[in-house]
């Protein structure tokens, strides 16, 4: 089997490459680093230093290494929608869209055209294949590093062609293996931020360079009375409490809704920030749709608390309602909700984007 390993320059993908080479032989494995963002960045996985780290690790492992420039596709499929979503008052997840559109779409296609049988990545997740040949997407062995949430849009076509070599390892085991192999990334810190946003200027500066930001008014969710102002409606997120002030009872206020066109942000007390469920669109399934009435476990962020829920038909084509067993914090429109099997909460069954 010929395997293309996506090497970001971090320790996880470095060890994934080493394990792939050990299993299939270095002559059947090639490392590829994606050049996605050509603008200013001091974080993420697209810096010159990250490319150099990946190249040096590949050299150490005896692997051929190439850099694939997918910057145009990244701008079109990830950055532009990210900006447009903010302009519409949504809160997008660019890392999930990068996985959906770039790593498990364009990269898989590039690998196929180059004659590779599979693509391996350094994600902390597991792929299990049953006797029938159908694949399952399962949480990584390290619960603190599990990345099944950001992979929850994968289906059978993608899972048939991807491998997660470190999915059964803890982060400590990954670092120990990198140290044993003498890899330069063994002690390298994990990447935490969105790769195209600088940590020193942040999201506000990035968006301000691309769209007009508009001041808005804070309105009480119950009475409609004005209670304050925000500098930019496009930077506010449903569920946000920072910068929203306090009510007359001294309790913090939370964002319950955003209307960019009206320049209005509705806020309320903590109980107003709770919801009984969410409606999802852009539905994807690991192994076929799960219908209304099915019990699931919903996870609303990368390391969010799993929420027991039931699927319902909202009466709108292409949508699905997730009804929480108990009220939970509102999920911002534009975010992804991953759905897990209620009888096996480690197994992903699908995902959707909050309407």
Q: Which residues are catalytic?
A: 98, 195
| Residue among 27, 20, 8, 7 nearest 195 (CA) | 8
- Could you tell me the end-to-end alpha-carbon distance of the chain, in angstroms, rounded to an integer? 41
Query: To which residue do tokens 């996506």 refer?
Result: 6
Joined tokens for residue 336: 């992804």
Can you point out the beta strands (E) in 81-134? 118-120, 125-129
Helices 11-24/171-180 angle, 10° precision: 70
Buried/exposed 317-333: b ≥16 CB within 10 Å, e otherwise: eeebbbebeeebbbbbb
Write out the H or E segment, with its range, that includes residue 6: strand 3-6
Joined tokens for residue 63: 């692997």
Helix (H, G, I), strand (E, B) or coil at 310: strand
- Bridge-based pairing state of the strands 320-329 and 274-285: antiparallel
Joined tokens for residue 300: 């609303």
Return d(Cα 140, Cα 251) in angstroms, integer: 39
Q: Is the distance from CB of 296 to CB of 278 less than 8 angstroms?
A: no
User: Phi and psi at residue 349, in whole multiples of 5°?
Assistant: -110, -20
Joined tokens for residue 309: 């829920």
Q: Is the distance from CB of 298 to CB of 324 less than 8 angstroms?
A: yes
Q: Is the distance from CB of 252 to CB of 270 less than 8 angstroms?
A: yes
Return d(Cα 166, Cα 133) in angstroms, integer: 21
| Residue among 1, 9, 4 nearest 191 (CA) | 9
């Amino acid at each position: 089997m010929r395997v293309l390993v996506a090497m970001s320059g971090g320790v996880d993908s470095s060890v994934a490459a080493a394990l792939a080479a050990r299993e299939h032989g270095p002559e059947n494995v090639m490392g590829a680093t994606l050049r996605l963002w050509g603008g200013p960045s001091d974080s993420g996985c697209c810096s010159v230093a990250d490319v150099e780290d990946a190249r040096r690790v590949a050299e150490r492992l005896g692997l051929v290494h190439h850099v694939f420039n997918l910057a145009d596709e990244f701008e079109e499929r990830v950055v532009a929608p990210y900006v447009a979503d903010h302009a519409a008052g949504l809160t997008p997840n660019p890392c999930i869209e990068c996985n959906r559109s770039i790593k498990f779409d364009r990269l898989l296609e590039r690998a196929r055209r180059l004659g590779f049988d599979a693509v391996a990545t350094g994600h902390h997740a597991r792929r299990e294949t049953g006797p029938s040949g159908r694949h399952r997407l399962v949480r990584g062995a390290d619960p603190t590093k599990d990345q099944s949430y950001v992979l929850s849009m994968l289906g059978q076509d993608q899972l048939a062609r991807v491998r997660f070599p470190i999915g059964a390892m803890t982060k400590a085991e990954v670092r120990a293996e990198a140290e044993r192999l003498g890899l330069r990334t063994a002690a390298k810190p994990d990447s935490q931020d969105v790769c195209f946003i600088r940590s020193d200027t942040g999201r506000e500066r990035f968006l301000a360079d691309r769209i007009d930001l508009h001041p808005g008014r804070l309105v009480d969710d119950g009475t409609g009375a004005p209670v304050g102002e925000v500098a930019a409606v496009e930077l506010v997120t449903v569920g946000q409490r920072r910068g929203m002030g306090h009510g007359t009872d001294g309790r913090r206020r939370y964002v319950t809704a955003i209307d960019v066109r009206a320049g209005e942000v509705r806020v309320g007390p903590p109980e107003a920030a709770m919801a009984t469920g969410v409606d999802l669109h852009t539905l994807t399934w690991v192994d076929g749709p799960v219908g209304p009435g099915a019990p699931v476990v919903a996870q609303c962020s990368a390391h969010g608390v799993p929420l027991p829920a039931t699927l319902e038909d909202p009466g709108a084509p292409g949508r699905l309602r997730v009804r929480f067993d108990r009220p939970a914090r509102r999920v911002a429109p534009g975010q992804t909700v991953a759905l897990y099997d209620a009888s096996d909460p480690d197994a992903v069954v699908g995902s959707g984007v909050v309407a």
